[in-house]
């Protein structure tokens, strides 16, 4: 394997420690790992802190201490007082239930991140990048539909198109297949696999399903009760 | 009352209610958003204090307004000395009274509407690089708009019907501060049943029109979505 300068950069370097309180219960999340894989899977049961980790990377949750570096860029460093806003981090986040904007069409959803300012993209506003991503995910015929008028698989494609249109530096996926039936899951896994190969986009995926981890490959981390299971750190297959 | 003075009274009522509603659009939506999204000590207390106009007698509110905006009042004295503005016995005073009384009817639905917006949608917009201001106008407000509008129309109707606080603050000067509800009271007191009848019918008609408008203004597309 040749190591170019770019490859030498750590893709993801996380060392965070934070405690969350909810009523009388508290939950401590301690994560420390570094990976230069473009495919990272965090595997663990629900309540293990997977989503919290992903939210910390995206800037939607601020850990009490530690640091997060992605592709050579410091996103968060408690000691140095660095905490980039989610807007500055340039990562994409695929929410488990997709979080599509219900008042906007598929086309407006895909173009959402491409239009700045106070106004949403217009219904028919021409935009080459929007057309490109609609076509990539075979969504052209649904462009004028609203999210509640399309199927679950189509919603996920729309959410992916919206995330990728914003040209992110990394894609974070929160249980991307949990809400889909078996047949659709197989199809979308394959699509995501091809997408990652084609775009060479770093992806961090969290899941409770070991099958997802085996299929997605890359660097698999097992998370249990807020801590990484160190003994289980194994690279299943690094496809880079 | 002749047609001319009735139309002046109606016009004044609509003007006062419209300005009071405009004031509540800014303040009610702002406070509703603050209470829905803000996390600060005293939030519950603020909500309670701001709800008081709904349960307190309008005369008490009118008295408070006189204390605050009167010539000897903290704000009134300052406005008088700095700008030469006096709100007591003016239509602007009636606007303040109507706005205060209608305020809980606007900010409470606005708060509920903002709270009903899925916070994850705002997070999604944040990750997509949209500024906080952009998120408010592109995600939060469009999704909360129906609830806010319902509150504004209720507030408008309440402002139209305002009587007690308005009478205390603005008085009953025909053509200047005498609104429909006050004119009705005056007509009944003076035994002018014909005038009272006309004004009552007029008030009822305006209220029905406001409610019809509320029904029409409901965005069709969202209703259509829920119908599916």
What is the pLDDT averaged over residues A224-235? 63
Question: Is the minimum CB–CB distance between A166 and chain B shorter than 8 Å?
Answer: yes
CA distance B28 to B38: 15
Asked if residue A77 belongs to a domain, the reply is: no
Segments of A72-217 assigned E as strands? 73-77, 82-83, 91-94, 170-174, 203-207
Q: Per mean pLDDT, which range of A93-107, A145-159, A186-200, B18-32 is the poorest? A: A186-200
pLDDT value of position A230: 56
In the structure, what pLDDT confidence band is assigned to residue A212 with cuts at 50, 70 and 90? confident
- A8 vs B152, higher pLDDT: B152
Helical axes B180-189 vs B193-217, angle rounded to 10°: 160
For the residues of chain B, what is the DSSP string, one character each?
Answer: --HHHHHHHHHHHHHHHHHHHHHHHHHHHHHHHHHHH---TTHHHHHHHHHHHHHS-HHHHHHHHHHHHSTTSHHHHHHHHHH----TTSHHHHHHHHHHHHHHHHHHHHHHHHHTS-HHHHHHHHHTT--HHHHIIIIIHHHHHHHHHHHHHHHHHHHHH--HHHHHHH---TTTT--HHHHHHHHHHTT-HHHHHHHHHHHHHHHHHHHHHHHHHS-HHHHHHHH-
Q: Is the pLDDT of residue A175 over 60?
A: yes
What ipTM did this prediction achieve?
A: 0.86
In the structure, what pLDDT confidence band is assigned to residue A180 with cuts at 50, 70 and 90? confident
Residue of A nearest to B135 (CA): A118
Asked if residue A155 belongs to a domain, the reply is: yes
Q: Is the pLDDT of residue A5 over 80?
A: no
pTM, 2 dp: 0.84
Question: Is the minimum CB–CB distance between B219 and chain A shorter than 8 Å?
Answer: no
Three-state SS for A140?
helix
pLDDT tens digits for range A62-84: 999 999 998 888 999 999 999 99
Domains of chain B in start order, with CATH, are: 3-217 (1.10.3720.10)
- CA-wise closest residue to B78 among B91, B90, B88, B68: B68
Which segments of chain B have a pLDDT < 50? 220-228
Nearest chain A Cα distance for residue B157, angstroms: 29
Q: Is the pLDDT of residue A240 over 60?
A: no
Number of domains in chain A: 1
Range of the domain at A46: 38-60+86-237
pLDDT value of position B226: 40
pLDDT value of position A8: 44
pLDDT tens digits for range A182-192: 888 888 888 88
In the structure, what pLDDT confidence band is assigned to residue A217 with cuts at 50, 70 and 90? confident
Is B225's CB within 8 Å of A148's CB? yes
Asked if residue A80 belongs to a domain, the reply is: no
pLDDT value of position A209: 87
Q: Per mean pLDDT, which range of A158-167, A196-205, A227-236, B76-85 is the poorest? A: A227-236
Q: Say how far residue B103 (Cα) sits from the centre of its chain.
A: 5
Average pLDDT, chain B: 89
- CA-wise closest residue to B175 among B93, B86, B91: B91
pLDDT value of position A82: 92
Question: Is the minimum CB–CB distance between B129 and chain A shorter than 8 Å?
Answer: yes
Residue of A nearest to B129 (CA): A87
pLDDT value of position B200: 93
Nearest chain A Cα distance for residue B38, angstroms: 16
Instruction: Identify the CATH number of the domain in which residue A223 sits.
Output: 3.40.50.300
In the structure, what pLDDT confidence band is assigned to residue A237 with cuts at 50, 70 and 90? very low
């Amino acid at each position: 394997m040749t190591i170019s300068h770019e490859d030498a950069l750590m893709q993801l370097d996380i060392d965070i420690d934070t405690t969350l309180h909810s009523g009388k219960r508290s939950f401590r999340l301690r994560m420390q790992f570094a990976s230069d894989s473009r495919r990272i899977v965090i595997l663990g049961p629900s309540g293990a802190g997977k989503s919290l980790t992903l939210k910390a990377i995206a800037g939607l949750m601020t850990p009490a201490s530690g640091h997060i570096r992605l592709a050579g860029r410091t996103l968060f460093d408690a000691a140095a007082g660095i905490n980039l806003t989610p807007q500055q981090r340039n990562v994409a986040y695929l929410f488990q239930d997709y979080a599509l904007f219900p008042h906007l069409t598929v086309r407006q959803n895909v173009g959402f991140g491409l239009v700045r300012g106070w106004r949403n993209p217009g219904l028919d506003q021409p935009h080459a990048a929007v057309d490109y991503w609609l076509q990539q995910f075979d969504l052209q015929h649904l462009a004028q539909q609203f999210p509640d008028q399309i199927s679950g698989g189509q919603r996920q494609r729309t959410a992916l198109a919206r995330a990728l249109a914003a040209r992110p530096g990394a894609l974070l996926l929160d249980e991307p297949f949990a809400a889909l039936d078996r047949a659709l899951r197989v199809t979308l896994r394959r699509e995501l696999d091809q997408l990652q190969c084609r775009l060479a986009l770093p992806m961090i995926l969290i899941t409770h399903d070991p099958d997802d981890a085996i299929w997605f490959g890359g660097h698999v981390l097992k998370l249990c009760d807020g801590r990484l299971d160190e003994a289980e750190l194994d690279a299943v297959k690094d496809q880079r | 009352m002749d047609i001319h003075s009735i139309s002046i009274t109606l016009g004044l009522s609509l003007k006062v209610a419209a300005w009071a509603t405009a004031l509540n659009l800014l303040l009610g939506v702002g406070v509703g958003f603050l209470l829905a999204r803000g996390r600060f000590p005293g939030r519950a207390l603020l909500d309670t204090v701001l709800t008081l106009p709904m349960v307190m007698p309008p005369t008490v509110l009118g008295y408070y307004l006189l204390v605050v905006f009167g010539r000897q009042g903290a704000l009134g004295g300052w406005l008088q000395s700095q700008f030469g503005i006096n709100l007591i016995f003016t239509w602007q005073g009636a606007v303040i009274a109507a706005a205060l009384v209608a305020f809980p009817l606007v900010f409470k639905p606005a708060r509920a509407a903002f709270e009903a917006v899925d916070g994850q949608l705002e997070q999604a917009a944040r990750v997509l690089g949209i500024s906080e201001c952009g998120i408010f106008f592109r995600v939060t407000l469009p999704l909360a708009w129906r609830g806010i509008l319902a509150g504004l129309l209720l507030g408008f109707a309440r402002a139209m019907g305002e009587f007690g606080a308005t009478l205390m603050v603005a008085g009953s000067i025909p053509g200047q501060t005498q609104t429909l509800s006050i004119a009705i009271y005056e007509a009944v007191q003076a035994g002018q049943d014909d005038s009272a009848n006309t004004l009552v019918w007029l008030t009822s008609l305006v209220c029905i029109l406001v409610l019809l408008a509320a029904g029409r203004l409901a965005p069709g597309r969202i209703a259509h979505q829920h119908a599916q």
